[in-house]
Structure 1
Amino acid sequence: MSTLDRMEIVELVELHARSLELAAEVVDAVRPEQLELPTPCAGWTLRHLLEHEIGQRHGFAAAARGAGPDLALFAPVPVGPDPAGTVRRTGAELTAAFRDAAAAGRALWLPEIRDGGPFPLDRAVGFHLLDTLVHGWDVAAALGTADGLVEAVEGDGELLSVLVAVTEAVPDTPEARAPGRAFRPGLRPGDGAGRFDRVLALLGRDPAWKG
């Protein structure tokens, strides 16, 4: 039985809220002139990455409220003049939507993932928890502050265990990791790598990336 299978959905939603807070703390430090910095996401500046994250939060929240498989709901959204405020506002909206979906026992349509679903809520929350923490690392790496996020995640055993469980379930096949897919082919973790660095490597990211 996996970590996700043992966890109550209400508990998982609150754990996801912790991941959103850790990611928001990273974005709190972003200055306007840093939005054009490169990120570990090839071809994406920090602005592009944040716009993707905000769009994903809109899409997952809409799905949690019962929307069908509409790709337009997941489109990137401009960061506006207050990236940190936008990230925190959309995070709060997503948490509220996940709580409502948990109370209603609602599955989610996620058109960007495999056949689109519907996916059980625990799987959908797990998907976005992974997305939140890995893109949180992308932002922190672009800012040169990745070590702080890694330490915070590794210091939260429950959160880290869920992240590892979701990551290990991501297929690592040529089809699943082809160009244009969410993740690149997995890398071999370095000797002595911590659990979060192993997550990054499994998803095709170099934990030692520097802009």
Structure 2
Amino acid sequence: MPPHLIPNPLQLLERALDQCGEVIQAISANQADWPTPCAEWTVQDLLHHLVVQDLHNYTVMARGNNVDPKSATATVGADWSTRFADGAAMLMRAWAVADLSSQVALPGGGEAPLRSRIGLQIAEFTVHSWDLAKATGVHVMLDPVLADQSLAWSQRVMKVDYRGPDKAIGHEVRVPLNADNYARLAGWFGRNPLFAPGPKAASLK
């Protein structure tokens, strides 16, 4: 791909955050306990993960530091849309002043440029936008470019030993060859693209 056509990763991250924020804003309070394509997580659980954990941890990462998993202890509360918007703005401010070429420590040892952390964040917010939209049935047009970028990134970095019970993601779910961008992304991340939205009792019928 010619250099002038390669998407700016921080612009893609901002688009992923905007998209996720749009989905979150459309979710109603009575959907908080609905199940999601993320096994054993309700909508409320996933919102907590995004608002309290991801936005905090990713801001720490954008500043060149490693995450302390015990540091984010708040609860999401009821005004999750405002909390997400505020956290997303803080994350983008951190990236705006970051030296993307600076070297940062990798969890397993070694170093990599700070910019290498952006792909994870794009994929995380893109996949979870689909999770929440699928779980609640909200009508938000999801950006196919973000799905393509997230799938390409994850297929480069995701190892087989990341998958399985009690791992970061489930086993890949095979989808038809003509499946759309988000169905392919969801399947790669171990989600069921045919997940049906609704309260738990309805989903068990």
1:136 and 1:110 map into 2 onto residues whose CA distance is 27
Seen in structure 2, the aligned counterparts of structure 1 residues 183 and 107 have a Cα distance that, compared at 3 Å, is farther
Within 5 A, what are the aligned runs for 1:117-128? 118-128=111-121
Is the 2:64–2:114 contact (alpha carbons within 8 Å) kept by the matching residues of 1? no
Structure 1 residues 200 and 83: alpha-carbon distance in aligned structure 2, compared to 1, 3 A threshold: same
Quote the Cα distance in structure 2 between the aligned partners of 1:189 and 1:96.
38
The one-letter code sitting in structure 2 at the alignment partner of 1:180 is: D
CA contact under 8 A between 2:24 and 2:132: conserved in structure 1?
yes
Matched, 1:30 2:27: yes
Amino acid at match of 2:93: A
Contact 2:100 2:114 in 1 (8 A): no
- Specify the alignment match of 1:132 in structure 2: 125
Q: 1:89 to 1:172 in 2, by over 3 A?
A: same
Runs of 4+ in 1 over 4 A off after TM superposition: 107-111, 116-119
The percentage of counterpart residues that share the same residue type is 29
Q: Which has the higher helix share?
A: 1
- Match in the other structure for 2:135: 142
Say whether 1:152 aligns with 2:142: yes
Q: Which runs of 5+ in 2 are unaligned?
A: 198-205
Report how many aligned residue pairs link the two structures. 195
**How many Å apart are 1:32 and its aligned residue?**
1.9
TM-score (norm 1): 0.80
What letter matches 1:64 in structure 2? A
TM-score (norm 2): 0.83
1:198 maps onto 2:196 in alignment: no
Inter-CA distance 69–87: structure 2 relative to 1 (3 Å threshold): closer
Equivalent residues of 2:56, 2:87 under 8 A apart: yes
| Alpha-carbon offset, residue 28 of structure 1 | 0.4
